[in-house]
Amino acid sequence: MQWTDWPFLLSQVLSQFSIGAFIVIGVIMLSGKLCFGQSDRVLKNFPLIWLLLITAMLLREGTLMLSQIHSQSSFGLETFFCLTILISTMAYWLCEKHFIGSDKWRKSFLFLVVVWSGLYFIEGVVNHGISYSLAIQFIANVIVGGSLVAHCMLVKSEHKLTKLNTFLPVCGLVIGVVAILSNMQGMSLLVQQAELGDLTGFVVRISSIGLMVLALSLWLMPIITKSKPVTVMLVISSVIMAVASFLTALSM
């Protein structure tokens, strides 16, 4: 894999994490279980999703402009989805902040944006369906990574849905374990390459698995210790998970 593909892989990870986070946050907001004050505090954290999406698009398009080549990692629909989701979430945020339209209309708008984000997820699964490992990794990035980022936003927003402090990490653990097992399937080939002197693929894959285990462990720590999740710890876990996902993509 060429170095010019690295920014594309990082861009994909950031896109998947951010859109996954919006899907989780959007579903929770549509459930109606957040009071007005909690919803307002969640909306204040929307810039985190925008920052991740903008960074992903800048990495992608900036690398294309600088390298002046068309990478194999280039995928126009992903940029299109990122741009439309970025614009639509900003528009929804403005509507909520300035009470544009009725409450029912704003809920309908949010529902449409969540559905559009869901289409991104479905399209990504279908696009990566040619490889079982790639499909599992994409699902893990969107659901596990997205849930981690969403949990950070919720904890920072001081939400009162305590059940989510258990549900999100447990759900992430189940899908994360499936992703780890999927990553282990190609280890035999990487071990053979390592025996022949090519250690790069083996070291990268082992590192990605180890970091994913570490991220999931930090996420589950509040459940084990029966304490409240802390934003800083969730942020660290999210960063570690993003690095693990990037390394996994490099080794495939």
pLDDT (tens digit, 9 = 90+) per residue, 147-161? Answer: 999 999 998 887 777
As a whole number of angstroms, the longest Cα–Cα distance in the chain is 66
SS3 13: helix
Kindly tell me if the per-residue pLDDT of 74 is higher than 90: no
pLDDT (tens digit, 9 = 90+) per residue, 187-244? Answer: 777 777 766 777 777 888 899 999 999 999 999 999 999 888 899 999 999 999 999 9
Q: How confident is the model at residue 65 (pLDDT cuts 50, 70, 90)?
A: confident
Q: How confident is the model at residue 85 (pLDDT cuts 50, 70, 90)?
A: very high
Long-range CB pairs of 226-229, under 8 A, 24+ apart, other chains included: 228/165, 229/151, 229/155, 229/165
Structure tokens at 88: 């639509």
DSSP output for 43-73: HHTHHHHHHHHHHHHHHHHHHHHHH-S--TT
